[in-house]
Amino acid sequence: MTLLVALLASTLFISNAMKSEYNTIINSYPDIVITNQKALRDTTINEDEVYKVLSIKGVSSAVARVWGHYYFLNGDEKFLILGRDEFETYSNPLLNASSNIAKDSMLVSKEVKKSLQKSYYTEYFNFIKADGSIKRLTIQKTLERSNFLENSALIIMNNDSAKEIFEYDDHEVTDLSVSVANKIEVAFIAAKLKILFPSARVSVKDDLRVMYENIYNLRSGFFLTIFIITFFTFFIIIYDKVSGLNSEQRREIGILKALGWRVGDVLNTRFYEGAMISLVSYILGIVLAFIYVYYFNAPYLKGIFLNNYDLLKDFRIVFNIDFETLALLFFLSVPIYIAATVIPSWRVATLEADEVMR
Amino acid sequence: MTLTPEILTIYILDLLFLFFAIIAFILSLQILKSWNFEATTKLQYSLQMKSYLGSTIIKYMFYIKLPLFLFFIFTLDKLSFILPGAMCGAGVVNSNEYATVLLFLKLINLYLFAYWIVLDKLDMQDEQQRYLKQKFTIFIALFTLLVLEIVLEYIMFSSIDVKDVVDCCGTIFSTNDNTYLSKALSLSPRILLSLFYMNFSLLVLSAIFRMRYIFSLLNLLFIFISLLSLVAFFGTYIYELPTHHCPFCFLQQEYSYIGYFLYGVLFIGTFNGLVVGFVEFSKKEISRHYRVSMFFNLMYIIVVTLYPILFFIRNGVWL
Amino acid sequence: MIKLINTSKIYDKNVVALDAVNIEFKEGELIVLKGVSGSGKSTILSLIAGLIKPTTGEVLVNEKKISKIADHFVSSFRQENIGFVFQKYNLINTLSVAENILLPLVPLNLTKVELKSRLENVLKLFDIEDKKDTLVKNLSGGEQQRTAIARANINSPKIILADEPTANLDEKLSLEFIDILKELKSQKRTIILATHDPLFFELDFVDKVIQVKNGQIIS
């Protein structure tokens, strides 16, 4: 029982931690992102469109962004490339902090550095363009570890270098990021933007958050399904155990009844037993989960939530316990345990004293 | 279909309730069919034992239902974060035509189950168990309502669509539309308050003179008037915003979860008051119920009155 | 005062344990039910204690029709008024003497002080004080008997029932039991013994000897 609660608790803790991580990450996203589309597929946008956006009242800033992925053949992985402009401020704090990139240089994250090193690239890297020619960028600095789940394989470079690698035209950018001064106005402004850019996809940050929330609920939902099954198996086991009326137990209950114990008294004793056990298990389970998740960083279980794409090897799970999770765990464990004891206890309590003693 | 862990938990417990309720239902039928207190047959003995099981199951269900109801409200509240537009449980409830009915049904069931518990207690204190058949007949009714509630709960949760935009309580409880609700909410505070306090004074009077049925009736009235005045008047002082008329928002953390306290106290007070009119208690029992009812109703009034008064003291004006 | 009115007890398969029996026991009497095994004397005890309900007829104890009240009330009645000494003692071997003796009082939720004082009274009275914390399985036959009797007295019952109390005892212990009986009689309890031990038939402080045979009263 304790183990089950521990397991369940761990799952919930992890998913909560990740939720809060996502929330932090998402907070660093721009309020609105405008991505041009052709035939409903993402495509590039002209950077001059930014001025159209800036003309809308309520928009505090709009930035043309250059970013994308690069497939590194030797390491069989995708790098995320974020381009940056000297004079721009971005909503992503990491980008903002990474100014002063020398021409034809780049900043790489630790993961990228390791990957490149495996392929013997230590000082620089040759990006291969579409026509087969090479763009060499020197590694200026390795980035400090960040808490980003998504951007583990990250490279930051100047917009010019990025445009070259992606083979953008001079005025082409990946998308426009928009910040809105008054958050309540976001939906309103997004609507205006949709009219301004009819063929573009206008994504609002909140929607993203909602989407992630749902994904996480679903994922933990999968786990809960597993747990329902385990619980019912559990139920059956408890039922079996508690109803195991050996002759000694029957005799004892018979004696108690003969001494004047009522059915209610026997039931009460059994109930308190059950309540005690399940409560203690519940508390123990939570404590165990706590230690497992926060001190040991949840080996094995973490892997189920993070697949290779997201994997940050030393992801520190943030301390995140809330009342809701505790209440949830409580309702999943204690009432069910007690329920399992109801019928067996009743069977035991209603034995006829007389028959048992003869 | 949205499936948060909370909803899943509720489903699991609902299944459990269904399982037990069906057992109790079958028992009730057996008991109602063949119960003969005078008989000394084996059948009667087994029926007696089964009645203990029935009581235990129903008691168990009630005591879990209480915190579960709070948890339900809490789940609704949490859902408001996923439903665009909703900022509290009110939006969630309004998004779905089943939700309001479900809420009321759950409340009614809580009152009815509590009533059953009282009956059961009374029955167990009687050597002849005169209330036994009555008790289980009532459970049959309770069973149907419980099943209805569970089914409705499932329907409601599965029809919540994350893509629907819902109204926030600001819109639902506004005083501008032409609905009955807004008419009621825009009653002048003077009328509302006089009704409210008058109701309470009548309560006190009828308690002193032990007028059972009137007391019971007044308690029923009190439920409605309290809720109305809470949403229309007192709530605005909790929120310190004259237009915020929402019965859900003050269940949230920002307001120190005061909602749970207020509703809890109101429930206990009015339930004890109501029960006085329905059950034949002994003298000692009945005074206890009077006392409990008055105590909790008084607590409700005090706390709810404190909000506007404290506001006035702090700010020097009324809203 | 105990009355059995036209009481019959028929078990499954038409086994007649008692056949339309009428008896009355007055308060404070010490009565011996005499008869062989299966004569029905144990059934009478069980009926008085409310352990079983009669098939027909009524059982009245102190004007209360215990055969006609709900099960949990019968248990309460038994707890308050009856002290039963069983033939096989029916002690719980894994518990200590004190724990066994206190068992009948557990559902009452008495204070520790109250429990302690009652316990000590009874331990002293039946001379089992020194074995208070010993586990029952480590007691001698006589000690177990005294524990059983102590347990039957912990709730100061008005009625004491004993079923074949000396069946497993040697003469010395049987005589000790008779001394205890005398003591109990002096406390004005109603005592009913079911036994076929002739030791009891000639005692001077026995008020009545009733013979039971084949479910009927003979004398």
What one-letter code names the amino acid at C3? K
**C80 interfaces chain A, CB cutoff of 8 Å:** yes
Nearest to C208 by CA among C34, C26, C39, C32: C32
Q: How many distinct structural domains can be found in chain C?
A: 1
Helix axes B132-158, B42-79, angle to 10 degrees: 30
**Residue numbers in C near B127 (CB within 8 A):** 69-70, 73
Burial of B209 (0-12, 13-18, 19+ CB in 10 A): exposed
* Interval B60-88: pLDDT, tens: 899 989 889 988 888 887 777 777 666 77
A102-123 average pLDDT score: 83
A253-263 average pLDDT score: 86
Task: Mark yes or no for CB contact C52/A354 under 8 Å.
Answer: yes
B276-289 average pLDDT score: 84
Q: pTM for the full model?
A: 0.72
Q: Which helix (H) or strand (E) holds B298?
A: helix B283-315
**C103 interfaces chain A, CB cutoff of 8 Å:** yes
B127 closest CB neighbour out of C54, C56, C70:
C70
Report the pLDDT value the prediction gives residue B150, as an integer from 0 to 100.
93
pLDDT band at B25 (very low <50, low <70, confident <90, very high): very high
Report the pLDDT value the prediction gives residue A147, as an integer from 0 to 100.
52
Q: Which helix (H) or strand (E) holds C75?
A: helix C71-81
Report the pLDDT value the prediction gives residue A309, as an integer from 0 to 100.
35
A260 closest CB neighbour out of C79, C86, C91:
C79
Nearest to A181 by CA among A59, A63, A89, A34: A59
Distance from CA of A230 to the nearest CA of B (A): 12
Query: Does residue C149 lie in a domain region?
Result: yes
Torsion sign over Cα B222, B119, B35, A242:
positive
Distance from CA of B154 to the nearest CA of A (A): 16
**Residue numbers in C near A354 (CB within 8 A):** 46, 51-52
Give residues with Cβ within 8 angstroms of A227, minimum separation 6. A4, A7, A8, A332
Task: Mark yes or no for CB contact A350/B49 under 8 Å.
Answer: yes
Query: Does residue C115 lie in a domain region?
Result: yes
Report the pLDDT value the prediction gives residue B109, as an integer from 0 to 100.
93
Report the pLDDT value the prediction gives residue B210, as an integer from 0 to 100.
85
Query: Does residue C177 lie in a domain region?
Result: no
Strands A105-108 and A154-158: antiparallel
**Residue numbers in C near A262 (CB within 8 A):** 71-72, 75-76, 107
Q: What is the separation, in whole angstroms, between the first and last Cα of chain B? A: 42
* Interval B208-226: pLDDT, tens: 888 888 888 999 999 988 9
Distance from CA of C207 to the nearest CA of B (A): 32
For residues B259 and B235, give the distance between their C-alpha atoms in angstroms, rounded to a whole number: 10
Distance from CA of A41 to the nearest CA of B (A): 22
Strands A105-108 and A134-142: parallel
Distance from CA of A306 to the nearest CA of B (A): 19
Instruction: For residue C118, give its domain range.
Output: 88-154
* Interval A163-191: pLDDT, tens: 888 888 888 888 888 888 777 778 788 88
Mean pLDDT highest for which of A329-338, B236-245, B256-265? B256-265
**Maximum CA extent, chain B:** 75
Residue of C46, C69, C78 for testing the chain B interface, max B β-carbons within 10 Å: C69
Give residues with Cβ within 8 angstroms of A326, minimum separation 6. A286
Query: Is the pLDDT assigned to residue A353 strictly greater than 70?
Result: no
DSSP output for A30-80: -SEEEEEEETTEE--EETTHHHHHHTSTTEEEEEEE-EEEEEETTTTEEEE
B132-157 average pLDDT score: 91
DSSP reduced 3-state for A28 = coil
**B107 interfaces chain A, CB cutoff of 8 Å:** no
For residue A323, the Cα-to-chain-centroid distance in whole angstroms is: 19
Percent of chain A with pLDDT over 70: 68
Cα separation values, A165 from A68, A105, A154, A160, A252, Å: 10, 13, 15, 9, 83
